[in-house]
Structure 1
């Protein structure tokens, strides 16, 4: 996994006006919370964070924040962006406590799409979810979860319960014991012109026999 480490400073000058001034100075305001410590308001170098967040792993990786010389481990919980400029407005970080289970959002990587049974039959692969919320110990946090759809045929879907999860990682939705949370993750839409029976069974319906 990639390493993400950032220098941060504690900020005491709070409020909307102070945040605007920080942004003009090339900084981005942030807050670090969680664990058994009080929330801390921070500032970080905007350009370094902005470049790092282009990497998908940034959102599902345990980061290191060097705060006035003291290292804190954290994950990104929320990012506020400018509505039309490529600019970050605010970040929320949550502390990571080693040995304590945590929740995080992890992206899904779909493999064997072009070689799947449905795609070979002319179907269209449709991603219904692109990320999932997981619970695990920090050392088990994956950068992504792989979803293999090689055997998926047209008119069929894979659900959360069909995903092979990494060791020590569970899906938050399924831990609730509610079948309605077993959402569809990916489906393959039949090619245009396919009948309803084909969409459901993946087979061409039999033609009536002339008498």
Structure 2
């Protein structure tokens, strides 16, 4: 289940580079809320609070509530820009979401039991094809991550999306094939050892 948090914001009347720079000097970040067939809303957020959320992880998969002058708007961060030199946040884009919304998100993949995997113990190498899986899901059901259990995976095995238990209502955006998430390949050392034995 997706985590949620709340941020306080103020509406912005002025937009453009000059006003954005003035906001950043005051410790604020310019942002925009768009979507849900409504006009885009320009806002300013506390730079420190948003940076903490960004660096806590899962920023683009956590639903937030933004309080703009008493009006609470449910949003999902869709994109952010950082300064190319100093690496601090300079802008955030938010998408309005409702309980009935269907959105596309990239969910990270976590690999379990690498230390007890049959194939990896025999000298195999984990070849990760997809570090993230793009899912179509409702905002309230965004998973933190997708788990792949490698315990029984052997050399030569491929783990496909069909073998993964996805949260209810989550559908991969790639539907035309059973795509590969990871493989267990034989290492060069294991292959030369097998050739010697043969």
Would the TM-score normalized by the shorter structure come out above 0.5?
yes
Q: Which residue of 2 aligns with 1:191?
A: 187
Going from structure 1 to structure 2, the CA distance change for 1:15 and 1:148 (only over 3 Å counts) comes to: same
How far apart are 1:206 and its partner, in Å? 8.9
Q: Unmatched 5+ residue regions in structure 1?
A: 199-203
How far apart are 1:2 and its partner, in Å? 3.9
* Alignment deviations for residues 3-33 of structure 1 (CA, whole Å, 9 cap, x no partner): 3110111112111121122112111111111
Q: Which residue of 1 aligns with 2:39?
A: 38
Q: Which residue of 1 aligns with 2:159?
A: 158
The normalised TM-score by structure 2 is 0.88
Larger RCO (alpha carbons 8 Å, 6+ apart) = 2
Q: Which residue of 1 aligns with 2:117?
A: 116
1:134-149 equivalences under 5 Å are: 134-149=135-150
Which piece of structure 1 moves more, 100-109 or 163-172? 100-109
The normalised TM-score by structure 1 is 0.83
Q: How many residues align?
A: 197
- Distance in 2 between the 1:118 and 1:147 partners? 15
Query: When you count strand as a share of all residues, which structure comes out higher?
Result: 2
Runs of 4+ residues deviating >3 angstroms: 204-208
Q: Are 2:159 and 2:180, in contact at CA under 8 Å, matched by a contact in 1?
A: yes
- Distance in 2 between the 1:85 and 1:115 partners? 42
Q: Which residue of 1 aligns with 2:90?
A: 89
Q: Which residue of 2 aligns with 1:201?
A: none
- Distance in 2 between the 1:160 and 1:52 partners? 30
Going from structure 1 to structure 2, the CA distance change for 1:84 and 1:192 (only over 3 Å counts) comes to: farther
Q: Unmatched 5+ residue regions in structure 2?
A: none
What RMSD over aligned residues (CA atoms) do the two structures have, in Å? 2.2
